[in-house]
Amino acid sequence: MFGDQTDVPESGDWWNAAYLIIWGTNLPITRTPDVHFMTEARYRGQKVVVVSPDFSDHTKFADDWLAAAPGTDGALAMAMGHVILAEFYRDRDVPYFRDYARTFTDLPFLVTLRRGDGVWLPDKFLTAADLGHDVADAAFKTVVWDAAAGGPAVPNGSLGFRWNDADAGRWNLELGDLDPALSLHGRPGAEPVPVDLPRFDVGATEGGSAMRRGVPVMRVGDALVTTVFDLVLAQYGVGRAGLPGEWPTGCEDADSPGTPGWQERITGVPARAAARVAREFARTAERTRGRSMIAMGAGTNHWFHSDEIYRSFLSLVMLCGCEGVNGGGWAHYVGQEKVRPLTDWFHLAFGLDWQRPTRHMAGTPLWYLATDQWRYEAFGAAELAGPTGRGLLAGRSLVDCNALAARLGWVPSHPAFNRNPLDLADEAAAAGRDVADHIVEQLRAGALRFAAEDPDDPVN
């Protein structure tokens, strides 16, 4: 989903959208030179929905205005997702949506369940290594349930196919004869199992409770597995026959997370309005093969856990087969600019003649480490653990988590080590060794440390 800066089309693609939700970005003010692509498209029948807490310059273009309270956009998007999943996946089979989800999303991937305090919890992706496959990078090759063969299978395209010669030509999304099942529900041998899922709208810190909802599971070897799609339906509160648990009584249920009725108490947007816009967004995408778009921006970004707000938007465009389609997907407020020297400047600034793509460090952790912001934290990382993850962050500070992420390669952190990388490369060359092998050896011996582990050391 994420490109070099963002993954978005240029602003001219607003013109191609048949249905446009402007969500947290005041286009006439912040994108004045480009906004004509939106205003002109309305003359050819484009419907415009604006999500904004106040009446501002872009609201006057709206066919519908959803005045969600500031910072509550994730709840509104989840409720819209509930409607789409219930009416366009559970109640109906939309071939375009189904085929898109099977090919371009992780919804068919199998996820293992683990036992925790007497309940089942979602855990890690099932991988080729779990199946006992003796192949290159097996631990990084995810698994689907092949409906045609009636068993687990390893499709192309996961990370394990990227970095080895044995799989040359397989780092793609071609399914071949595979028929990945979105759900295990109703399949021979499947059984219902209740799992605990987090809810973040209750509790002393708005994250202190869990809800129990059922998913269909299969046993693969020693692992109990379900699909990402089955877990998503459970998280969004979309019940199905034979599954145990706490399910909404309907769209108007205000006490069950994920419904339009539930979001109304949080956002102030009427439940029926949220459901109607969701249906229109999905129905338009179905009829136009993905030409429903969300133009969004800083109004939805500048919030704690705003990455989760973004993911709630991304779920909508992926469920409706919009991403990667002209006139569809999400149009972020950055990345759409037409800056002519940008490509050349990137080449010089990031040394693309040495290595590409480069991994850029986010500005937030750079500031956090370089200016000792971590010294002023009032609570530990355990405070942010979800109710189904109690104990996972016990005893850790937030900067500990940042250092762990750097060590495990989850995020780039610069400087990476407490020594100059050019010197490390020279040492490896002098010893006739591969640079990566030399660095791993130095780390294991304790002769080399990650800079994030001691940001105040003068050498860092």
Domain boundaries, the chain: 11-85+256-332, 96-235, 342-453
Q: What is the pLDDT of residue 207?
A: 60
Q: Is the pTM of this model over 0.85?
A: yes
The two tokens of residue 424 are 């490390």
Q: Which parts of the chain register pLDDT below 50?
A: 4
Q: What is the pLDDT of residue 315?
A: 97
- Return the CATH fold of 11-85+256-332: Dimethylsulfoxide Reductase; domain 2 (3.40.228)
- Tens of pLDDT along 92-102? 999 999 999 99
Q: What is the pLDDT of residue 6?
A: 59
Dihedral angle sign, alpha carbons of residues 192, 194, 198, 200: positive
Q: What is the pLDDT of residue 344?
A: 84
Q: What is the pLDDT of residue 338?
A: 65
Q: What is the pLDDT of residue 335?
A: 59
Q: What is the pLDDT of residue 20?
A: 98
- Tens of pLDDT along 11-20? 889 999 999 9
Residues contacting 334, CB < 8 A, separation 6+: 5, 6
